[in-house]
Amino acid sequence: MTIQSDPISLPKTALGTDLTGASLIGGRPVHGGHGEIAGTDPASGLTLAPSYGLVGTAEVDEAAELAWAAFGSYRKTTPAARAAFLETVADNIAALGDVLTDRVIAETGLPRGRVQGETARTTGQLRLFAGLLRTGTFHDARIDPALPDRSPLPRPDIRLRKISVGPVAVFGASNFPLAFSVAGGDTASALAAGSPVVVKAHSSHPGTSELVGRAISAAVAEHELHPGVFSLLFGGGASVGIALVSHPRIKAVGFTGSRTAGMALVDAARNRPEPIPVFAEMSSVNPVFVLPGALDTAAAELGAAWVASVSTGNGQLCTSPGLVFVPRGAPADAFTAAAADAVRQVAGAPMLSAGIRDAFDRGAGVLGDHPDVTNLAHGEAAPAVAVCGVPQLFVTDAHTFLTDETLQEEIFGPASLVVTVDGVDQMAEILAGLEGQLTVTIHSAEDEPGAQALLDEAELRAGRVLFNGWPTGVEVGHAMVHGGPFPATSNGQTTSVGALAIERFLRPVSYQNLPAGLLPAVLQDDNPLGVWRQRDGELTRDGEQTPA
């Protein structure tokens, strides 16, 4: 089947008629006929043009079939070709400049500096995966040469590499309209792996999604790839998402969002005739444990720094520290007093959507209405902001916390709870009983008693353990893990941030006694790609052993 794609052009203005309100199926604009959505400015409450036509299951089927049609050729592109493609996507997004920045601000209420930083992160992670492709390490190439004279049985020639799992469905996130959305880490890592991508855009920032989607489609056309390598769908409710995950051409899913929505996708994927993996980042309260040595020397400074972390992004970050545990006593009082003072100085700010604000108000209300929880302080309301979240600070004791599981639930927004404990031993007991987390943070003096015990528990509970820092701010690199045991994610063996994220969309294949003429380039004896490979368990490249 030959697919014709309309020419792609990048829009010139953020709020004008250049935005079409259309999905992109293999680069072709498609106006869905199943209702409409439009972006809303959370600062002013105004509806933003244009409206976006919502697709149905027929369009889901078209996009998934196109992705499958593209898979055969795209997975065989060279790593260098895919790297160049990802770099063009990054260039196209960067070229949007203020067009993109203004639209993101209008749809999310995020400050300009945050949007510009997130744009840089988005283009940076695309380039990170381009660099990874050029190293060739993602192949995990291994060669066990034949041993025909081995006794009692000869060994066949066995070689291994990793290949793409197939087309991937990606769900845009509300809180990161760029870095975790249309061209975010899930899309970048899947495209790097050789997987075509079908993105379901988040309804809170449709204009942003279209701008970025057109930037990707333009790169697809420029590199003369099959247009089915990328599609962008606007769909309402859960039906389109479930249809996408259930489609037999989709082989894996990347998701960032609520626990309820994530588990609905996990269930849909599990109930398919061919179950597929869902890599869902869902829920985390990111507990912080402040040991006596740190508290005794810097209680006030730590209290203020904690509030700065909580209020970053108005609390709408997956790594926002929602729980802090401190040993009771005068230093803890100084900590909470400093935190309360800091909270009072934080003005309310726009939340991403009215739905998120309402959920935040309900969660903060649960704490505020609890008879054994005290509301220590709250920030200044901002009446001029249509969808406003006001920072809140609460405190309770360990007994109350341990006897009421609702106090462990994530509140997505600028609210956090201080829990006073009897000592480090009780901290370890509490940590052992918590659900899986994206992060666990420990503040400790050097060689402080109890720190090792907390570390032992923390590494069982989280994907990232921090010492004397704060969890907001996730570095995009080769050693980062942004994941964790359930319910932080649906699969605690992976990460959604950093170079290792490509592993989610690859699977190993062994080749036994394959003729030399049929061997993939990365497994050929002369190593034409010049990559590091394991040969009989030793890492080599063109006969060299890896440096010590």
The mean pLDDT value for 108-113 works out to 96
Q: How confident is the model at residue 543 (pLDDT cuts 50, 70, 90)?
A: low
3 state SS of 53: strand
- Tokens (6 digits) for 520: 């993939």
Q: 215 phi and psi, to 5 degrees?
A: -65, -40
pLDDT at 349: 94
For residues 547 and 511, the model is more confident at: 511
Contact between residue 186 and residue 180 where contact means Cβ atoms under 8 Å apart: yes
Q: Do 378 and 355 contact (CB within 8 A), yes or no?
A: no
| pLDDT higher than threshold 90 for residue 257 | yes
**CA dist., res. 364 & res. 412, Å (int):** 9
- The alpha-helical segments, DSSP class H, found in 223-272 are 239-246, 259-270
pLDDT of residue 3: 32
CATH number (3.40.50.620, 3.30.720.110, 3.40.309.10, 3.40.50.10140) of 288-467 reads 3.40.309.10
One-character DSSP codes across 312-353: GGGG-STT---EEEEESSHHHHHHHHHHHHHHHTPBPEE-S-
Q: Measure the CA–CA gap between 322 and 193, rounded to whole angstroms.
A: 35
User: Strand, helix or coil at 280?
Assistant: strand
Q: Tell me: pLDDT of 455 over 70.
A: yes
- Nearest CA among 154, 162, 200 for reference residue 181: 200
Residue-wise pLDDT for 178-229, tens only, equals: 999 999 999 999 999 999 999 999 999 999 999 999 999 999 999 999 999 9
Mean pLDDT of the chain: 94
| Residues above pLDDT 90, as percent of the chain | 94
What's the CA gap between 320 and 313, in Å, rounded?
9
Instruction: Give pLDDT, residue 41.
Output: 96
Angle, vertex CA 144, rays to CA 143 and CA 148, nearest 5: 140
In this structure, which topology does domain 23-107+163-282+497-502 adopt according to CATH?
A: Aldehyde Dehydrogenase; Chain A, domain 1 (3.40.605)
The Cα 208–Cα 199 span in angstroms is: 13
Q: What is the pLDDT of residues 316-373, one digit of tens each?
A: 999 999 999 999 999 999 999 999 999 999 999 999 999 999 999 999 999 999 999 9
Residue 442, pLDDT > 80, answer yes
Backbone angles phi, psi at 354, to 5 degrees: -65, -35
pLDDT at 236: 87
pLDDT at 129 over 90: yes
The predicted pLDDT at position 13 comes to 39
Tokens representing 100 are 């993109």
Report how far residue 207's alpha carbon sits from residue 203's, in angstroms, rounded to the nearest whole number. Answer: 9
Catalytic positions: 281, 318
Comma-separated ranges of CATH 3.40.605.10 domains in the chain: 23-107+163-282+497-502
Spatial distance between the Cα atoms of 541 and 368, rounded to a whole number of angstroms:
61
What pLDDT, on the 0 to 100 scale, is given for residue 17?
A: 38
Assess contact for 346 and 307: CB atoms under 8 A: yes
In single-letter form, the type of residue at position 102 comes to D
What pTM value is reported for the model?
0.94
CA 532 to mean position of chain CA atoms: 29
Helix, strand, coil percent values for the chain (each to nearest 5):
40, 20, 40
Cα distances (angstroms) measured from residue 347 to each of 256, 367, 383, 393:
28, 20, 11, 13
Structural element, H or E, at residue 28? strand 28-30
**Mean pLDDT, range 388-414, rounded to an integer:** 95
Q: Outline where 323-441 has alpha helix (H).
A: 330-344, 354-369, 398-403, 424-433
End-to-end CA distance of the chain: give it in Å, rounded. Answer: 52
Region label for 322, one of left (φ > 0), alpha (ψ between -120 and 50) or beta (otherwise): alpha
Domain with CATH 3.40.309.10 in the chain: 288-467
Distance CA 417, CA 422 (A): 17
Which tokens in the block code for residue 243?
Answer: 């249809």
Predicted confidence band at 18 (pLDDT cuts at 50, 70, 90)?
confident
- Nearest 5°: phi and psi at 238? -90, -15
User: How many whole angstroms separate alpha carbon 4 and alpha carbon 421?
Assistant: 65
pLDDT in tens, 511-528: 999 999 999 999 999 999
Give me the DSSP letters along 62-82: HHHHHHHHHHHHHTTS-HHHH
